[in-house]
Amino acid sequence: MIIEMTASTVLSFGAVPTYGASETAQFVAEQAEQGRRQLHASFFFGMDGRGVLEELYSVTKGCLVADWDGYGAAPVRAEAFAQACRFLKALPFGVQAPSVGAEPDGQLTLEWYRSPRRLLSVSITPDGDLHYAALLGPNKAYGTEAFYGEVPRPILDLIHRVQAA
Amino acid sequence: MTAPDPPPAITDDELLARFMLFSRWIREDRTLRPDGFMPSPNSELSVTRQFGLSEVALWQIGQAVADALQKILYGRADLKTADVRRQRLQVDAAPLSENLNHANITGWPPDKPSQKIIAQELAASATFVARE
């Protein structure tokens, strides 16, 4: 059986949920997941192809030891790296790639940036808490959301607001 | 270096320098990422008062800081004390034997999101000066 998966199909539906237990349903689910992975790895739709995961790895590697900044910074822990990977992979297609950083408390940061007064920064803790702050012209938004495998709606909305012209 | 000792009281119009020791703190458009303005685990942000210092002397201090920390000095962020105080932070003179102009930005709120939004404001108000 050959099922053609086009980009628009996958973009419209994302990964097909495995509601059915039949062989066909399983096959479709596998194909959709494969297509999603390929798209995720592509330059236009995913994060991997844009080097974000490599950047995440590089930043983490440089911050694994205590006092990496010379001012007493806490090391970035493997759990924070793993949470950041999961967060990146949970981002929907079409989202602009963030840049990666690290903070003195050992948290990794992802930044969506348009200008110094239009940006969003999300700090990811080893426990999966997402501390975010955004400047949107004269407005500010900041808070904490838990990460349970899906990008929390308030953060997704802020990403879109930063990306919007 | 024969700069006069800086007075302990820091006025609103004093310029502060935050030395940029990581390339990722500086964006391609030469603006600054807030990561470089987050407080250390002891809730301080280390800066140098520019009071009485020539450009040469200021860069010498920056280079000494970078050397001591075994980092590369990419440049500095110039911050007005008034912009720091606008965020309800304090600037405390904290002279060191190797840097009499050293100061700490203190008074950070304890919660992370509040710290982040302040760091974003400081980064937005700072001016990057590249190391020549």
**If you average pLDDT over every residue of chain B, what do you get?**
95
The A residues from 40 to 69 touching B (CB cutoff 8 Å) are: 59, 69
B44, two tokens: 């301080």
User: A113 to chain B: which residues are within 8 Å by CB?
Assistant: 27
At position A99, the amino acid (one-letter code) is S
| Max CA distance (Å), chain B | 42
Nearest CA to CA, how far is B31 from chain A (Å)?
7
Range of lowest pLDDT (A33-42, B10-19, B36-45): A33-42
Instruction: Please report how many Cα atoms fall inside a 13 Å half-sphere around the Cα of residue B107, on the Cβ side.
Output: 11
Cβ pairs A/B, distance under 8 A: 79
User: Per-domain residue ranges for chain A?
Assistant: 1-40, 50-163
Contact A105/B33, CB-based, under 8 Å? no
Q: Phi first, then psi: what are they for A36, rounded to 5°?
A: -65, -40
CA distance B68 to A121: 30
Q: Is the ipTM of this complex over 0.90?
A: yes
Q: What is the pLDDT of residue A43?
A: 45
* pLDDT attached to residue A93: 86
